[in-house]
Structure 1
Amino acid sequence: MRLLTGDRPTGKLHLGHYVGTIKNRVKYQYDYDCLFIIADLHMLTTKRSTQNIKDISGNARSAVLDMISCGIDPYKSRFYLQSGVMDIIGSIYFLMNNLITVNRLNRVPSLKDMANDINEEMPYGLLGYPVLQAIDILGYKANIVPVGKDNLSHVEVTREIAKRFNNEYGEVFPIPEPVKSIDSSLVGIDGKRKMSKSLGNSIYISDNDEEITAKVMKMPTDPNRIRPDIPGKVEGNTVFIYHDLFNKNKQEVEELKERYRAGKVGDVEVKKRLSNAIINYLEPFRERRREYESVDKLNKLIADGTFYAREEFYKTYIDVVNVMGYNKVWQGFNLNTK
């Protein structure tokens, strides 16, 4: 049984990534054969400049190091670079992209949001983003896919493509199941939209104590509470959302909520306690990070994972061309499929 998921190498990972998907990766890593994709081809849909491409290597190492620091065991799981398997991915992508319609892809809600983010008409590559994601998943015959809620619709496209291929040509692909995060998307430190690198409202997994404290102190609280002695609202309050998620001292959290509702604690104290809680929460992450932050170690992990991924994907490619009948076409002309 195999698990596959991953991230685009567009920068450092943040607490929203951790809450949204990485916690599930850590949870399931010993139950499945895990492959984590560094999706540098998907990155081109919104980040395609020459500088973006130059930044892939550093961002890939950063993403892998962030995942290891969160608890992913590098001896159990594999990380691979998507572009390192590009030729085989492209082959299956071309063979299978006729199994879904443009109208169906236009109903994927996240694509319009992504097009709005890049402030241009939707590129062809962005429209095909869920199909390329499907090839990533199906190419490794993944059984489960941990995703945030934004990508649930993408996994549904994958399931539809797998079912149609199996029906038309023969059983090749398991039908993957999405595993949704227990926690919903994490609101950013601005308290307005979900945490996002592009919005500049993130606390990064690699942030130091001073950076965390500075960001927490900027968080909005109850806008109607202009003095500490005014009773405040806890529900929907950004600071308390973070307390609930990252403060391991639940008794302290409940006491702070009670005092806040009664107008007996100031915002500064609540925020200081939150920054300390997040720093304490991330301390084990930092210990794991120090063990693997060598560039040579990270390079080897990614290279080994990518070589493994090529071999595994090629096996699926052979299954696909065989069941579709292309192997017989090639045999007639004495063509080598390797």
Structure 2
Amino acid sequence: MRPTGRLHLGHYHGVLKNWLTLQHEYDCFFFVADWHALTTHYEDPQHVQQHMLDMVIDWLAVGVNPGSSTIFIQSRVPEHAELHLLLSMMTPLSWLERVPTYKDQQEKLREKDLSTYGFLGYPLLQSADILAYRAGSVPVGADQEAHVEITREIARRFNHLYGREPGFEVNAELAIKKMGRKQGEIYRKLRKTYLEKGDDEALETAKALLKEQNNITLGDRERLFGYLEGTGKVILPEPQALMTPHAKMPGLDGQKMSKSYNNTISLRESTDDVDAKIRKMPTDPARIRRNDPGDPQKCPVWQFHKLYSDQQRQDWVQNGCTTAGIGCLDCKKPLIEAVQAELEPIRIEALELENNHDVVKSIITEGCEKARDEAQDTLKEVRDAMGLHYR
């Protein structure tokens, strides 16, 4: 996530609630993408550090757990930059130019000079962010799926160019023997079935078999992944897009919640401000007087009810609005209570973290060290494959 400062309910419902689930299902890496921030805001870097700190405090306050995941800063793991550089040597320029968001963002941000390599190359930096950890899955929304696909293409090209180690087949056969006779025979049959018949089910079964092997090294496992498909050693595995449920959080005016629209409720919004902001929300313009019936579909408040209210409450709103049985303030009152209840524990935790910056910085430092250990392992193999590991 780019460092944009304090987060709001749109971030919470659109991204963070999903992170809270994923951190207990996967080995997750959550990082502050400060280099990515510079791809579009290179002329205004002075707020990055404070924005980073504010954002991490919000992550921790909502429940992102440093004991269950790794929290770090992109620029404090220089391996991201090195891998980006090395991948740039073999990535065709046309691949970057065709990324859908490249021209879209240039159009949306016309007031900025984005004719820079950093902006053109940001999808490749994203690929380096992913491949540095040899991630199996990347949680994205539909609008980001293209970035995972180009990462897959880059990994495939890298493995094709550099995955052929001397004596690859011999080493692969030795690795099969290490699996044990029975497991080795199963692997051979599945590989033969895939290579001769193109049976994708056999390929997936063989991959699952390899993941369960505890008596072969990581290098042998990656080697056998490559041997399955008749290629070389898989140095950089191809990640899969993990399509995640995206709860669209409307803003106070019915548009997408965004700081640029000034229609947000921040995660640390005071109780008085939450109360005032929801009370001032626009409603169906047809309800000029209290006894005028309204249409919930034309009211931003109804969008909030769909997120915060159960079916019984939603039925009450629908009936009360269309019959003028309730007023707009009546409709907003349970929403105020629901949002306050959601934000109260976040406010308390954030306040404690605001008063203990050393704790936050310690969590970040520990996460950076852990992330760097992982990335260094990857870069060692990448350098070896590219002939850059000098002895």
Distance 1:31 1:17 in 2: 21
Q: Which amino acid aligns with 1:76?
A: S
Query: Residue 185 in 1 paired to residue 185 in 2?
Result: no
Classify 1:250/1:68 alpha carbon distance in 2 versus 1 (closer, same or farther; 3 Å): farther
1:33 to 24, 27, 34: 27
Classify 1:37/1:274 alpha carbon distance in 2 versus 1 (closer, same or farther; 3 Å): same
Query: Residue 164 in 1 paired to residue 157 in 2?
Result: yes
1:320 to 376, 379, 382: 382
Classify 1:244/1:108 alpha carbon distance in 2 versus 1 (closer, same or farther; 3 Å): same
Cross-structure match for 2:101: 110
- CA apart distance, 1:201: 2.2
Cross-structure match for 1:259: 320
Classify 1:153/1:238 alpha carbon distance in 2 versus 1 (closer, same or farther; 3 Å): farther
1:274 to 329, 332, 335: 335
Classify 1:109/1:269 alpha carbon distance in 2 versus 1 (closer, same or farther; 3 Å): farther
- CA apart distance, 1:291: 4.6
1:94-138 CA-to-partner distances (Å, cap 9, x unmatched) read 111244444433343333443323623433312211111111111
Cross-structure match for 2:62: 70
Mapped contact 2:57–2:353 kept (Cα < 8 A): yes
Distance 1:119 1:76 in 2: 41
1:180-215 CA-to-partner distances (Å, cap 9, x unmatched) read 3323432322223x2222332222112121222232
Mapped contact 1:69–1:285 kept (Cα < 8 A): yes
Classify 1:212/1:108 alpha carbon distance in 2 versus 1 (closer, same or farther; 3 Å): farther
What SS does structure 1 have at the residue aligned with 2:138?
A: strand
Distance 1:33 1:225 in 2: 51
Distance 1:228 1:105 in 2: 56
Cross-structure match for 1:129: 122
Classify 1:292/1:220 alpha carbon distance in 2 versus 1 (closer, same or farther; 3 Å): same
1:167-188 CA-to-partner distances (Å, cap 9, x unmatched) read 3322122222223332343232
Query: Residue 292 in 1 paired to residue 353 in 2?
Result: yes
The normalised TM-score by structure 1 is 0.85
Mapped contact 1:148–1:185 kept (Cα < 8 A): no
- CA apart distance, 1:302: 0.7
Mapped contact 1:149–1:185 kept (Cα < 8 A): no
1:219-266 CA-to-partner distances (Å, cap 9, x unmatched) read 33323332333332223632121122134x542232112211222222
Q: How many residues align?
A: 318
Query: Residue 139 in 1 paired to residue 132 in 2?
Result: yes
Classify 1:201/1:97 alpha carbon distance in 2 versus 1 (closer, same or farther; 3 Å): farther
Q: Which amino acid aligns with 1:110?
A: T
Classify 1:22/1:259 alpha carbon distance in 2 versus 1 (closer, same or farther; 3 Å): same
Mapped contact 2:136–2:240 kept (Cα < 8 A): yes
Mapped contact 1:8–1:38 kept (Cα < 8 A): yes
- CA apart distance, 1:216: 2.1
What SS does structure 2 have at the residue aligned with 1:46?
A: helix
Q: Which amino acid aligns with 1:140?
A: Y
Cross-structure match for 1:153: 146
Query: Residue 199 in 1 paired to residue 261 in 2?
Result: yes
Distance 1:108 1:238 in 2: 34
What SS does structure 2 have at the residue aligned with 1:235?
A: helix
Distance 1:225 1:187 in 2: 21
What SS does structure 2 have at the residue aligned with 1:326?
A: coil
Q: Which amino acid aligns with 1:273?
A: P
Mapped contact 2:9–2:265 kept (Cα < 8 A): yes
Query: Residue 13 in 1 paired to residue 7 in 2?
Result: yes
Query: Residue 94 in 1 paired to residue 155 in 2?
Result: no
Q: Which amino acid aligns with 1:172?
A: I
Q: Which amino acid aligns with 1:21?
A: V
1:139-158 CA-to-partner distances (Å, cap 9, x unmatched) read 01112222344322222222
Classify 1:189/1:104 alpha carbon distance in 2 versus 1 (closer, same or farther; 3 Å): farther
Q: How does 1:235-246 map to 2 (within 5 A)?
A: 235=297, 237-246=299-308
Q: Which runs of 5+ in 1 are unaligned?
A: 1-6, 332-338
Query: Residue 232 in 1 paired to residue 232 in 2?
Result: no
Q: Which amino acid aligns with 2:28?
A: C
- CA apart distance, 1:28: 1.2
Distance 2:285 2:142 in 1: 29
The farther-off stretch of 318-327 and 230-239 is: 230-239
Cross-structure match for 1:61: 53
Mapped contact 1:20–1:147 kept (Cα < 8 A): no
Distance 1:254 1:68 in 2: 35
Distance 1:103 1:231 in 2: 56
The RMSD of aligned alpha carbons is 2.2
Mapped contact 2:40–2:114 kept (Cα < 8 A): no
Identity level (%): 38
The normalised TM-score by structure 2 is 0.75
